[in-house]
Structure 1
Amino acid sequence: MKFKSIRRWKIVRDYIVGWTLAFLFLSIIRGVGTIEMSSISFEFWDSIMVSSIFGFFFGSISGYAQILTEERIYGRISFRNLIAFRIIFAILFLFLLIVVSYFMAITFFGETKGLIDFIIEPGSPAIYLYILSIDFFFLILRQMQLLIGESNLGKLLHGRFYTPREEHRIFMFLDLQSSTQHAERLGHIKYSKMIQDCFNDLGVVIENEAEVYQYVGDEVILTWELKKGLRNQNCINAFFNFKERLKKKQKRYQKRYNCLPFFKAGLNSGVVIVTEVGKYKKEIAYHGDTINTAARIQGKCNEFKQELLISRNLKEQLGSSKFVFNELGIIALKGKEEDVAILSVHKVNGQL
């Protein structure tokens, strides 16, 4: 299964679990020590069963709607239209839930009221408010997850980064070339929009299991757990997949910005320290010579007229490869006492 499909499944799974827990919580609150105001009275275990079914069904819908928003809608419409889309979805989602509940009530619980009377039953407004609040809560939670990294929210909540710890990781520094000329030619606003488009297209690297560590101006720092980065040569493929994505959208970039953005990258692997930093604004930070070396390697791209450079250390860990590596020698990097051997990376002619 491709990583993109795995990622989608994880999103849907999280929404199914979330909505199932939300419906179960509602069932417990309504079923323990309360008087049912509606015409239908559930036995507690029947309520649990219905909640589980609803959690799976509506969690799947909510999860796929989130995937649609992230992959097809976000960045392509205005923020106002995005908010309108979310409001319309929430209303339709609630209406669908009511309709499904109504037909289940007719089929399994002998409900005889009409749909309108069913909708306005005593106690229903509180349930509707609860459903909309849960939908909003999941939306905020998902945005937090995207803000700090999809794999990091759970780790942060578990306190995994509360104290510094070592990790073996791969880092890529990816930098836009001729950024100053682009900014002067386009102006700051249009230049920023181009950067925004580039970084949206960078989303293709999730197929290579990459994590975005930081956006720094017109530069991006990607990282992988060592095992994930080496698997299927993800850390190398990510660069060329991003390059191919930009090339496929060349007409759009030419039309909007009269250029095709070009990035160069440096890669290195090694041990880093990861920890939670900040008191009033928290962030997960990586420290160590591995990161500094990756940045210095990227800085040599122009000197050697290469688009992708990696350290020999990483090349040896990759083992056999479908790419072509050329030794550029052992060079001194600014700020490092020890020299570092670097290699350029190229695709084989005709390779997709």
Structure 2
Amino acid sequence: MFRQWQTRTLKAIAWISLASAIVGMFIGFLRASEETIFTDVSIGMLTGILIGFCCSFSEFFVFSNSRLRMARQMPLWQLMLLRTVVWCGCILAGMSLPIWLFGLPWQDLDTYLIENFVISAAIAFAFSSGIELSRLLGPEATSALITGRYARPRLENRVVLFADLIGSTALAERLGELQFHAFLSDVAQDFADPIYKTHGDVHRYVGDAVIVTWPLEKGVKNGASLHCALGMHRILDRRASFYKKKYDTEPRIRVAIHCGQVAAGEIGDWKKEIALLGDTMNTTARIESAARDLGERIVLSDDLVKSLPDTIGTSIRALPAYEAAGKQDKLTLWAVDLHG
């Protein structure tokens, strides 16, 4: 999964650099005279590549890198300011290096330096604000609120994942409110990696649980939702020593995954959110209860198993029919072998 993330990230950086090169060439063309068109277009292209590459590289591998906790734990205003300063440095370097490489007099840079830098810095700050807004609301919710996709409720087919910490009540009593909050924050940051890599969207944090969703096609493709659950377990196992040292515990989770139709739409006025309602959400909660009652770590609904590809890279086994509260029919469920 990490190699897949690296490949996707490098492709994204390449596309951003290419788009920046095209923009730079266009600006160079607009400002060029007949005698300097080749030089100006070439400088514009190189400037665009440098700015696009440096800014996107710093974003993906530093500011948006879930493995670098220091950046993600900074206050919002500090992170936005730091990102803007770094991007402005990338912009200055991108504007200066091509002049030096082409051996042109520095007066050529001074002509548009202030104008270009102010425009670029404003764009950098706007992008930084947009990125943090997207992180605050979630990429899908941000896009939906801007486009108005959920201004009126609509029916969608989705995969829903509930991940719940085991033994959190006793842990909260032992740690106290502030330490327990810090503990949940660390767990949430660890979960960000498998959620991002499987293209999931955090719908909501509910106490010690997290709800993740995918459009049905994305959630079942290559078993993405299942691999997200497995990734959550693996990252907690890998960081067990960290949690043991800091909180004197090794966190464990139960995961329930189901799929079906939900009603999605905006709720609220001063504070809006995208609400997902319906039997699919209720059934997923019942499946999480089944995982607790049956002592299983990952439990899948029969509907999800039927939608997954034949090869999912792990073994599953049938569980006894489960009689869930509020459901007329017993649930057909499957357990995942974590070591399969």
Moved more, 238-247 or 208-217: 208-217
Q: Is the 8 A contact 2:202 2:212 kept in 1?
A: yes
For the structure 1 residues 253 and 302, does the alpha-carbon distance in structure 2 shift closer, same or farther, using more than 3 Å as the test? Answer: same
Q: Which has the larger radius of gyration?
A: 1
Q: 1:14 & 1:153 partners in 2: Cα distance?
A: 22
| 2:330 maps to 1:339 | yes
Q: 1:272 & 1:203 partners in 2: Cα distance?
A: 24
- Give the Å deviation of 1:88: 4.5
The partner residue of 2:70 within 59, 72, 76 is 76
Q: How does 1:1-352 map to 2 (within 5 A)?
A: 3-5=4-6, 7-9=8-10, 11-12=12-13, 15-16=16-17, 19=20, 42-43=32-33, 50-68=43-61, 69-71=63-65, 74-76=68-70, 79=74, 82=79, 85-86=82-83, 88-103=85-100, 106-107=102-103, 111-113=104-106, 121=110, 124-205=113-194, 206-318=196-308, 320=310, 321-348=312-339, 351=340
Residue type at the aligned position of 2:70: R
- Give the Å deviation of 1:198: 0.8
Residue type at the aligned position of 1:65: S
Moved more, 261-270 or 55-64: 55-64
Q: Which stretches in structure 1 are left out of the alignment for 5+ residues?
A: 32-40
Q: What's the Cα RMSD here?
A: 3.2
For the structure 1 residues 27 and 279, does the alpha-carbon distance in structure 2 shift closer, same or farther, using more than 3 Å as the test? Answer: farther
For the structure 1 residues 336 and 66, does the alpha-carbon distance in structure 2 shift closer, same or farther, using more than 3 Å as the test? Answer: same
Q: Is the 8 A contact 2:160 2:211 kept in 1?
A: yes
Q: Is the 8 A contact 1:165 1:275 kept in 2?
A: yes
- Give the Å deviation of 1:316: 2.3
Residue type at the aligned position of 1:75: R
- TM normalised by structure 1 equals 0.80
Moved more, 148-157 or 184-193: 148-157
Q: Is the 8 A contact 1:15 1:62 kept in 2?
A: no
SS across alignment from 2:125: helix
Q: 1:72 & 1:145 partners in 2: Cα distance?
A: 15
SS across alignment from 2:319: strand
Q: 2:188 & 2:65 partners in 1: Cα distance?
A: 13
- Give the Å deviation of 1:74: 4.7
State how many pairs are aligned.
330
SS across alignment from 1:86: helix
For the structure 1 residues 154 and 135, does the alpha-carbon distance in structure 2 shift closer, same or farther, using more than 3 Å as the test? Answer: same
Q: Is the 8 A contact 1:210 1:224 kept in 2?
A: yes
Q: Equivalent pairs: percent with the same residue?
A: 22
- TM normalised by structure 2 equals 0.83
Q: 1:339 & 1:102 partners in 2: Cα distance?
A: 72
Over residues 16-38 of structure 1, what are the superposed CA-to-partner deviations in whole Å (9 max), with x where a residue is unaligned?
4775687589779xx6xxxxxxx
Q: Report the counterpart of residue 35 of structure 1 in structure 2.
A: none
For the structure 1 residues 43 and 283, does the alpha-carbon distance in structure 2 shift closer, same or farther, using more than 3 Å as the test? Answer: farther
Q: 1:287 & 1:11 partners in 2: Cα distance?
A: 34
For the structure 1 residues 54 and 160, does the alpha-carbon distance in structure 2 shift closer, same or farther, using more than 3 Å as the test? Answer: farther
For the structure 1 residues 319 and 236, does the alpha-carbon distance in structure 2 shift closer, same or farther, using more than 3 Å as the test? Answer: same
